[in-house]
Structure 1
Amino acid sequence: MDGAVRTGASVMGRRMFDLGEQSWPENAPFHTPVHVVTHHRRDPWERPGGTTFHFVTDGIESALDQARAAAGDRDVRIAGGGETILQYLNAGLVDEFTLALSPVLLGAGTRLFEGIDTSRVELEQIRSEPSERVTHLTYAVRPRIRA
Structure 2
Amino acid sequence: FHFVNDGIETALDQARDAAGDRDVRIAGGGATILEYVNAGLIDEFTIALSPVLFGSGIRLFEGVDAGHVALEPIRAEPTRRVTHLTYTVQKR
TM-score range normalised by the length of the shorter chain: 0.7 to 0.9
User: Aligned partner of 2:64: which letter?
Assistant: I
Q: Which residue of the partner structure matches residue 37 of structure 1? A: 4
Aligned partner (choices 81, 84, 87) of residue 136 of structure 1: 84
Q: Which residue of the partner structure matches residue 73 of structure 2? A: 125
Q: Which residue of the partner structure matches residue 14 of structure 2? A: 66
Native 8 Å contact 2:30 2:58 kept in 1: no
Identity of aligned residues (%): 72
* Unaligned stretches of 5+ residues in structure 1: 1-33, 39-56
Which has more radius of gyration? 1
Question: In proportion to residue count, which structure has more strand?
Answer: 1
Q: Which structure has more RCO (C-alpha within 8 Å, separation ≥ 6)?
A: 2
Deviation beyond 6 Å, 4+ runs, structure 1 = none
1:7-86 matches, cutoff 5 A:
34-38=1-5, 57=6, 59-86=7-34
Once residues 53 and 15 of structure 2 are traced to their aligned partners in structure 1, the CA distance between those partners, rounded to angstroms, is 35
How far the C-alpha of 1:95 sits from its partner, in A, is 0.2
How far the C-alpha of 1:130 sits from its partner, in A, is 1.2
TM-score (norm. length: structure 1): 0.57
User: Aligned partner of 2:75: which letter?
Assistant: R
Q: Which residue of the partner structure matches residue 89 of structure 1? A: 37
Aligned partner (choices 41, 52, 56) of residue 104 of structure 1: 52
How many equivalent residue pairs?
A: 92
- 1:28-58, CA deviations, whole angstroms, 9 ceiling, x for partnerless residues? xxxxxx23231xxxxxxxxxxxxxxxxxx2x
Once residues 82 and 37 of structure 1 are traced to their aligned partners in structure 2, the CA distance between those partners, rounded to angstroms, is 18
TM-score (norm. length: structure 2): 0.86
Native 8 Å contact 1:128 1:136 kept in 2: yes
Once residues 28 and 53 of structure 2 are traced to their aligned partners in structure 1, the CA distance between those partners, rounded to angstroms, is 22
Question: What is the alpha-carbon root mean square deviation over aligned residues?
Answer: 1.5
Native 8 Å contact 1:100 1:135 kept in 2: yes
- 1:66-106, CA deviations, whole angstroms, 9 ceiling, x for partnerless residues? 10110122211111133232221111000000011111133
